[in-house]
């Protein structure tokens, strides 16, 4: 019996249909076409970065004794991208870089070539010794165990890599102190074999210029170095730069100041400018009636009729939680505050009274010169604000 079913037809492939182009109607009623992506952009201003480097150099300039300005680029340049940051600083003349681990040093060497010195602050470990040798990394020697390890490893090297020796003068974190310092002092042959090219320490309270511990640490450092070979000296981090020439010695090690963060308790004295900002798109605009809530936990209750907007960035991108009403963003030079708890991917902002009605696709700016107040409101360090920035951002490295 013949088959009476209709012949089989192959289904057409599924294709994404293009949304219709909105008709122009003119004025504020004209439909707004969103940008193609809802992802936020992390914009790093490389001109500001190198300007900050030059500003620190000027602070350290003095007649008869030049001061080397190095760059601390650990933690992927404080979360901003060590590849781009270090290359820009190299182009500005920086030849000394500091990282935390040998693996950071290896990656950095691939980015900036063979010439610059790369110091590894956490010192050598047995497993990482091959990285130090292969990529010409200089360990910061912090204790006798590291000193013995580095000394033994040097026996297998034809060209003996140099190092830095770190003394603890009061932060009680890393560095030679107490009986270990006495042991190193007494073993002059070991120190000679280590052949350091820098002696260094680290300030604990440098942001507070009036703290007596700063002067005490400097005096202790000056006393310790008398027992060791006359090589270049380094004491100051970003905040230490602002303590004056007595704290500069031969090399300073700025980190946060390079990235435009406030380094001291009196930021008005500082000559750096912001390097980073987030640009997040508005995804949706809502009208909120008085008494209605917004966000998880309904923690925000509208005190009046309001316009709110949801932007595509949240704590998964590194935004710390802050109380309702905290200013964290800006649109058309107007400050915007939170209206509801920041969630994983989204943040609700109060748009009431903006100069022009907010629309999806418009871009809200976060961080920049608002980074420090945001950090203060969140109860985190400005350093943390940068290092928490997530991997979901589009990243743009620009010049002015």
Return the active site residues: 74, 296
Handedness of CA 303, 371, 121, 237 (dihedral sign): negative
Secondary structure letter of residue 243 according to DSSP: T
Query: Of 255, 268, 167, whose CA–CA distance to 218 is shortest?
Result: 167
Decide: 255 and 49 in contact? Cβ < 8 Å.
no
Decide: 258 and 71 in contact? Cβ < 8 Å.
yes
Between CA 377 and CA 338 the distance in angstroms is: 12
Query: Of 72, 215, 196, whose CA–CA distance to 141 is shortest?
Result: 196
Which tokens hold the place of 288?
């909120």
3-state secondary structure of 226: helix
Which tokens hold the place of 258?
């390079």
Secondary structure letter of residue 77 according to DSSP: H
Q: At what angle do helices 46-60 and 82-91 cross, to 10 degrees?
A: 50
Label residues 313-341 b or e (16+ Cβ within 10 Å = b): bbbebbbbebebebbbbbbeeeebbbbbb
Decide: 302 and 275 in contact? Cβ < 8 Å.
no
Beta strands 300-301 and 293-294: pairing type? Answer: antiparallel
The end-to-end CA distance of the chain, in Å, is: 80
Query: Of 306, 315, 316, whose CA–CA distance to 285 is shortest?
Result: 306
Between CA 309 and CA 288 the distance in angstroms is: 10
Between CA 14 and CA 328 the distance in angstroms is: 42
Query: Of 297, 287, 283, 290, whose CA–CA distance to 364 is shortest?
Result: 283
Query: Of 299, 300, 230, 234, whose CA–CA distance to 98 is shortest?
Result: 234
Between CA 124 and CA 113 the distance in angstroms is: 21
């Amino acid at each position: 019996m013949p088959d009476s079913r209709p012949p089989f037809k192959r289904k057409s492939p599924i294709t994404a249909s293009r949304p219709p182009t909105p008709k122009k109607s003119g004025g504020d009623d004209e439909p707004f076409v969103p940008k193609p992506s809802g992802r936020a952009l992390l914009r790093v201003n490389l001109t500001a970065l190198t300007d900050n480097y030059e500003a620190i150099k000027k602070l350290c300039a003095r007649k008869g004794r030049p001061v080397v300005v190095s760059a601390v680029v650990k933690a992927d340049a404080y979360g901003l991208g060590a590849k781009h940051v270090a290359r820009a600083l190299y182009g500005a003349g920086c030849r000394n870089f500091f990282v935390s681990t040998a693996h950071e040093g290896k990656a950095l060497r691939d980015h900036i070539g063979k010439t610059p010195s790369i110091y590894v602050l956490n010192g050598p470990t047995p497993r990482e010794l091959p990285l130090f040798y292969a990529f010409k990394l200089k360990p910061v020697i912090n204790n006798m165990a590291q000193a013995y390890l580095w000394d033994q490893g040097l026996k297998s090297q034809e060209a003996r890599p140099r190092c830095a020796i770190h003394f603890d003068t009061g932060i009680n974190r890393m560095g030679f102190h107490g009986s270990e310092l006495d042991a190193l002092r007494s073993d002059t042959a070991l120190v000679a074999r280590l052949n350091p090219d820098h002696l260094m320490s680290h300030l604990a309270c440098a942001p507070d210029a009036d703290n007596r511990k700063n002067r005490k640490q400097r005096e202790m450092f000056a006393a310790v170095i008398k027992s060791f070979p006359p090589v270049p000296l380094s004491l100051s981090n970003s905040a230490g730069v602002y303590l004056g020439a007595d704290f500069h010695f031969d090399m300073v090690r700025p980190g946060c100041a390079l990235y435009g963060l406030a380094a001291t308790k009196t930021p008005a004295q500082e000559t750096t400018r912001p390097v980073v900002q987030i640009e997040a798109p508005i995804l949706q605009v809502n009208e909120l009636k008085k008494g209605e809530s917004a966000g998880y936990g309904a923690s925000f209750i509208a005190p009046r009729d309001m316009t709110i907007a949801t932007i595509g960035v949240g704590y998964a991108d590194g935004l710390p939680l802050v109380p309702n009403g905290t200013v964290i963003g800006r649109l058309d030079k107007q400050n915007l505050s939170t209206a509801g708890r920041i969630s994983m991917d989204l943040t609700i902002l109060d748009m009431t009274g903006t100069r022009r009605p907010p629309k999806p696709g418009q871009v809200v700016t976060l961080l920049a010169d608002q980074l420090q107040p945001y950090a203060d409101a969140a109860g985190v360090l400005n350093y943390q604000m940068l290092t928490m920035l997530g991997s979901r951002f589009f990243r743009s490295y620009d010049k002015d």
